[in-house]
Structure 1
Amino acid sequence: MLMLFSSLASIEFVSYAALANTDQDGDGLTYGLEYLINTQPNDWDSDNDQLPDGWEWQYGLDPLSPSNDDGAIGDPDGDGFSNLQEYNYRQPSNWDLSSTTSVLDNGVWWNGTIPVNNWDEENAMQYNQPACGDSGSDGTGNTILCDEDPLGNICTDGIDNDKDGMVDSNDNDFDGDADCSSNDDDGDGIADEDRSGWDTDGDGMPDGWEASNGLNATSPSNADGANGDPDNDGLINIFEYINPSWDSTCGGQPCLQPGPDNPYTETISPCAPHQLIGPGGCATLTAETDGITSTNPNNDDTDNDGLNDSYEALTLLTDPTNADTDYDGINDGVEVNGQYGNPPQASDPRDNNTDDDAFDDGDEDKNGNGLVDANETDPTRREDSGDFDNDGLENWLENLSCTLWNVADTDSGGVNDGDESNVTHGTDPCDSLVNFTTTETQYSSTFSQLTVADSSGFSPGGGVAFYNNSGTYTQFSYAGVVNLVLSGVNVPPPTSGVAIETRNNSWCHDVIAPSYPVYCDDDYYDADGDGLADWEEILGVYGAFSNPTLADSDGDGVDDFEEVLAGTDPLEPCDNLLDSDGDGLNNYFEVSTGCDNAYIGITNGSQDIWSTNETMFDTDQGGINDKQEYFDSTNPENNPTDDILPADFDGDGI
C-alpha cells in the first residue's frame, strides 16, 4: 500500500512539474514562470495592452503595466516606433486567429523589431534576471553584459534557449535557432541583438524611420540597407535619412555617424543661403530651411518641386524637402528651368533676389511660371523693359534709380516720377520733402545764438536742424528765430562757416496763410507763393506760362493762380478780371494806355489811348460809363460833353 501511495505521489509530482513547464496561452511564458511573475497563465495579454506577456518579459517590459514605456504606445528605445509597432512589424496577417482570444495560435511573433536597448538576451526569460553590470558568468567574463552575443555557438549547447519546448538544434518551426552558423539565432536575417535598440538591423537608420518610409527595418542589405536606393534618385538611403547638410567630424575628418545616441553627428539648422544664415552663409552646404533633415527613400522627389532629391542635395544644394528653398514664391523646379528674358535664363533657387534689384524674384514673376509675362519684370536682369506703372520711365531705368518700377509716384507727392525726372521740373521723384540749406556766419557760445545767412527756412517757434560738415550730419535744436539769429542753440557748430540744413518743409514756414492751397512738399514747390508750383508755371500746365519767382508775373494786380483760375493770361497785364469800379474795364486797362482794345471786345485793331479812373464807373461824369464810351468812340477820360446819351423819345430833355 505504501508503495502504491508513493507511486501516485510521484505521478502527481511529475504531472505538476509537467504543467509548470507548459505554455497554455502561447504567450512565451511557462505556467510556472507566469505564476512567479503574477501574470495570467490563460491570458496571453495580462495587462490588455495588445503585447504578449512573454514578449514584454523577454524585452524587460512590465507585462502587468499597460502605460508609459511598458504600454502599446511606449517607445523606450526612442526609435520612433511604438512597442506595438515593433511587435507587429512584418507579422503575417493570419498569424493569430481572432476567434481564439485567450490563446496565441502560432505563439509569439519574435521576428518584429526590438523595442528596447541595454537588455540581456541570454538571461531574458529567467525569473530572477540579473541587471546589466552585475557580477555573474557571462561568456568568458565575470560581469553580466547587455546587448552582446554570447561567445560560442548556442545552437550546440544542447538546451532550449528560446524556451519554446524544442532543443535549439532541432527547432524546425523557424522561431528558434535555425541558423547555427551565425549570430542570427532565429534565422530571420537579423542579428539577434541590437546594441542600441533603435536600429534592429544595424544599418544606421532607425526602425521607425525605415518602417514609415517603406524600408524593411530588419534587413540591412540590398534596397533596404544603408547603400540601397529604391527610388533610384542617386541618393542612397543613409543620405536620405541624414540630409547631407548635417556636418560631422571623426578625428578631424568629415564623416557620417548616424544614430540618436552618437555625439559626433550634428545638425546644422537652419541653413538658409538667401539669408546668409548658417556656417559660411551656407554658400557650400545643402540648404536646410524647414527643420526636416530626411528625404523619402521611396520618392525620388520628396518635396514635389520637379527636381530629383540627389540633384538638389548634392548639386544644386537646394533643400530637397522644401519646394521653395529661398521663399521667394517660386518653386525651385520652376527657377532651375526658368526661361526669363532674351536670351532665356534661369533664376537662382537659393537666392530670393537673383538680380539684386529692389524686388524679390516672386515680386517680378508674379505668377511663378518661369516666364516674363505681361506686367511682369525679369527676375534675372535689372535692365527690365516696359513701363509697368505708366509713369514715362522704363522699368530698367527705375530699377537702376531710387524710383519704383510699379509705383507711378514714388514719393507720393502728387506728380509722377517721369514728370519729376524731367529737367524742367527740377524736383526729386524719390523725396517729396524740401531740405532748406544755408550757412553759419557767427556763433555766440555765451548766448547760445547762431547767426545764419538766410533764416527763412527755420521755424519761428523753434525746432531741429543739422550741421552738414562735409557729409557728416550733427543734429541740434533751437528755441526760436529773430531776424537772422537762431536762439537757444544746444550744440555749437563743428567748424566756422559750416552748412546748415532743415528738413521740415522749410519754405512753408514764412508763408502767410494765403487763400489758395499750400503744398509743403517738393513736388509742388512754390517759390513765389502764388499757389502754382514752379514747374506748373514753367511748363504752362494750365494753358499759360508765368514766372515762378513772381506771384504776379505781369504786374496787373492779379496773382498768377487767380488768372489761371479765371482763364486770363498771367503774362499779359491787359488781360485780367480785376475791375474795382465795375465798369467792365479791368484796373490795368484803365490806368494805362497801349492795350489792344480786343481785350474789351473791340476787334477793329485799335488800341487804348485813354487813361480812366479805375475807381470811378464814369470817369468824366458825362452820364455814360467808361466802357460804353470806348464802344461809342467818345472820350471817357475828360470830356463829358461828347457822351452819347440814349435818345429822348418823350421830349423831356432827358
Structure 2
Amino acid sequence: MADTDGDGLRDGIEVMGWEILVVNVGVQRIIVTSDPGLYDTDADGLSDFVEFSELCDTGSNASNPDTDGDGLGDQAEALSGFTWEGESYFTDACMFDTDNDGLEDGEEVIAGQDNFLTHANNSDTDDDGLKDGNEVLFVPRPFQKPTNPLINDTDADGMLDGWEMQVKSAEDNTNSHSLWVAASSWSRPGCEATQTNNCLMEPGGYVWQNYLGGFVLEAKYEIWEMNLSGFSIPANALCDGCSGRWALDPSLDSLADANYDVDNDSLMNSAEAPDRWNTNPVDDDTDEDELPDGWEVRYSQLALERGLVDNLSIASSGARGVMDPSMQDSDLDGITDGQEDPDRDGLNRSGLVKKYCPGYDDPTNSQCHINPDTPDGVRFYDNLENYTNFEEFQNGTDPVTNDTDGDEWNDGPEVYYQDHDQDGMATGWEYHFEFDPYDSADRMVDTDGDGHVNYCEYKWDTNPRNPLSFPGQGQLCDPFAE
C-alpha cells in the first residue's frame, strides 16, 4: 500500500479524502483531503494519519490547522491542552465551543472580547448557575449590566449571579427570577411602534421570560402590590432614562437587593436563595398552593416549636416543614398544602349531617336537605369539616392551633358563624351557597323560587338553591320580624 510521505495514511485516502463533522454554526459535514507528499499537510504538529484516525469522532481536517475555526490550533486542543487552577484539560478540535457556553474555545483561553480567561471545557467556570457566555457577551436579559464569569457572586450580596439573573428555560426546567420593576412608563426592547402600538408599558412589575418569549405583557404585580419600602428606583440609562430596575441585579456596584421583599411574601430575597428556602424571589407563591411563601415558612417553624410535628416525620417526605413553600403537597398525600387542615379546627361532620340531613341512615326519616352521598353533598360537608390553611390565611387565623384567640371556640366554627353583613345568616353559609356575605340584601331573596327566602332556609337548615328543599310544616319564619 503506497504511503509516499510515511505518515501512516495511504496515498489513496489522502487524495480521495474523508468526511468529517465540524460543530461551528450548526453541524457541518466536510470532505477533507491531505497531501500524500507531506507528513503533516497543514503543519499543525499532527500527522495526517493522526488527524484522520485519532482526533474527534470522525477525524479532523488535515489541511486546516484549526479545524473548528475557534482560534485554537488542533494540536493545542487535542494534545497540548490547557491548564486551569493547576489541572490540565483538553477541548474538542472539531467543536468551536466545546462546553456549549456561548463562547468559542479561543475566546475562553485568550482574553478576547470579554476580557476574561475562563475554562473552555466547563460552561460555568465560577459555578454560579450562569454560563460563561451569559455573564458578559450574551447577557440573558435587557437593561442588564454584565457580571464577572470568575466570581459567582459579583455584587457580593450572598446570592449567586445565575440565581439572581435566572430566566425561564424548558431545557433547565427553571422559572424566571427576572422581574422588571418600573415606577414610570417604559418601552419594551425590540418593539416596533405602530399606529396601534406605541410600545409603552405602564408602571408595575413585569416578568422577563427569555429572549424568545420576551416580557409577559400583563404586569405580574401592580406597584401597590409589591413591597417597595426602601427599594430605590432611580432613572436608568439602560432603559432610556425610565425609572426602572431589576428586582435582583447581580452586577458589580448594583443597588442592594438582598434584604428586600419585592414579591411581598414576607421572605427577604436572601431567605429565598437555594441555600435557604429555595423559593422564587419574585413569586409570592412559588409552589402555587394558594399560600404565600413566607406564611408557610412562619407556621412551619411554629409547628416545630410547638411540638406538633418532628423533623424526622417531615423529612420522610422530603419537606422542610408542614407547609414547605417549594412543595405544593408537603406530606405527599395528594392534597395541596392550601387545602390541608393540620389543626383540625373545622366544623364537626357528624353534627353537620345530623343538622342538614336528619334522615341519613334512618329508614324511618326521609328528611334530607343536603345528602352526604351526592357530589354536592360531599363538597358541602368536606368544605365545612375542613377549615383549610388557605381559609386560615384568608381570615388571619393560626393554621397550627385550633383556637387562635383562646376563647374556647375552634377557629373554623368561629369564622363560619360570623355575620359580616348582619343579615342573620352566617358568613360561612353564605360563602358556600355563593351569596355575598357583605351584602344584607340577599336575606330577603328567594333564590330557588320555592316560596321561602334565603333567611328562612338558613334558619331551618334547608338548601337555598334546591326548590325541593324548604322548611316543613310548623317550621315558622317571619324574616321581617326576626
| TM-score between both structures, scaled by the size of structure 2 | 0.28
| TM-score between both structures, scaled by the size of structure 1 | 0.22
Q: Max radius of gyration: which structure?
A: 1
